[in-house]
Structure 1
Amino acid sequence: MSRCHDEYQQWPFLSQEEFELACAFFDQRYVRASLGPTRQIFKIRSRRTLTAGTSYIEVLRILQLPEDGDELSLALAGLGKSGGDIDLVNSTDVDMTEEDGDEPYVTYEIHLHPTYRMPTLWFMLHDLPMGENSFNVDAVYRYLVPPEYKSRLRAAGVTGGISAAPHPITDVPAFFIHPCQTKEAMENFDCPIKNYLMIWIGLVGGCVGLSIPPEMARDEEEI
């Protein structure tokens, strides 16, 4: 057995404690990475639920950057204001202001699936142009799914593709990537728990427009 796999109770599955540790390592990467201006448009926050106190990761990204600097500032200020029953644990982002931005953005969340015992990627669109429904799979394909993934995701259907269900915290309808095929994908890798979410996002996130800034990978040895 790989020495890295000794860090887990049952690789590649995660216990709640292992997931909490993976979230903490991932948050440290974001805090320590030299992101520069990227930190203003791509936010990662480690959070906890108010009910069970379990950890999860929230990622916020503006879908299309405004050309005007003032509009960009307003858009950044408005990110994440629609959160539900959640409590911020740690954030290195600029302080939120009282102004509301109205630029379209996406919220990704990484939660541990209680049955599959694998991280699961949830995502929600916000502040789309008037007349567009945020909870619409066509909008997801239009705003999030890169062209090279569209046919494969549509062919996958619900199993292994884009699914919809009540959000695990707010119970509001949301989209997620079904985790049933994640185990087989992760088994091809040999990684310590500090790298788990980096590898996992590389496998799961790209199909819905989530990628990690390369600076977070370059800072690996400092963690």
Structure 2
Amino acid sequence: MSSEEPESFTEDFFKICLNQILELSNKYQDGWKLHKKEEFGSVFITKKSRMTLSAPEEDLQDIHVTFEYHVTYHPSYCVPVLAFHIWKQDGTFLALEDFWKYCSHLKNSNMYDTLTQLDHPVLQRPILTLHPCKTHEIMRSFMKHSKNPVISWLSTVGYAVNLKLLKEYQNVC
């Protein structure tokens, strides 16, 4: 990111960051896909990832799920948003409260301050979301030093929802 780049995070700059993520994804066959909503001029990327959520407590069982991550721009907060759906093997959605039971690494957090269900900024339908209210604060430290603040931010917050980035992404920052 150049020193001329403003401290605010614009949707145009977000699109530049997404293009770089897509270039890396294509190079390393990592699975990110671009989606456009032409009538709004909005874009977002998605990636699916299958995994097993380990039961942190004896009364729970490990569960096999598919995450579909969405990285989009939130026009009200002027920040990127990490949103996601989680499906169980039978094709039903895993509810936020059920997902929270598997998040022992977040137990000291207030669930609804961290994860919530919001309308997708582009698709305008409910989706689980890392709440965007603290994103600007987190990103402030990346804005002047990172070549791609979206990658830096995803590298920082992705762990909360089991999103793992290849080290090649972090090498860009």
TM-score, normalisation: structure 2 = 0.78
**Higher mean C-alpha displacement, 181-190 vs 109-118:** 181-190
CA distance in 1, matches of 2:126, 2:133: 20
3-state SS in 2 of match to 1:28: helix
3-state SS in 1 of match to 2:31: strand
CA distance in 1, matches of 2:94, 2:3: 39
The equivalent position to 1:22 in structure 2, one of 6, 17, 20, is 17
The equivalent position to 2:42 in structure 1, one of 35, 49, 54, is 54
What's the counterpart of residue 4 of structure 1?
Answer: 2
CA distance in 1, matches of 2:42, 2:124: 16
Which residues of structure 2 form unaligned runs of 5+?
53-63
CA distance in 1, matches of 2:98, 2:51: 12
> Is the counterpart of residue 136 in structure 1 residue 124 in structure 2?
no
Measured after TM superposition, the shift of residue 46 of structure 1 is 2.0
Within a 5 Å distance, the mapping from 1:166-185 to structure 2 comes to 166-185=119-138
3-state SS in 2 of match to 1:29: helix
CA distance in 2, matches of 1:191, 1:56: 24
3-state SS in 2 of match to 1:43: coil
- Indicate conservation of the 8 Å contact 1:62/1:104, yes or no: yes
Which residues of structure 1 form unaligned runs of 5+?
34-38, 65-102
Within a 5 Å distance, the mapping from 1:84-99 to structure 2 comes to none
- Indicate conservation of the 8 Å contact 2:14/2:150, yes or no: no
* Structure whose residues are more often strand by fraction: 2
- Indicate conservation of the 8 Å contact 2:72/2:122, yes or no: no
| Structure with bigger gyration radius | 1
3-state SS in 2 of match to 1:26: helix
> Identity rate of aligned residues, in percent?
19
What's the counterpart of residue 76 of structure 2?
Answer: 115
- Indicate conservation of the 8 Å contact 1:111/1:120, yes or no: yes
Regions of 4+ moved over 4 Å: none
CA distance in 1, matches of 2:3, 2:133: 21
Measured after TM superposition, the shift of residue 197 of structure 1 is 1.4
TM-score, normalisation: structure 1 = 0.63
Measured after TM superposition, the shift of residue 142 of structure 1 is 4.7
Letter in 1 for 2:4: D
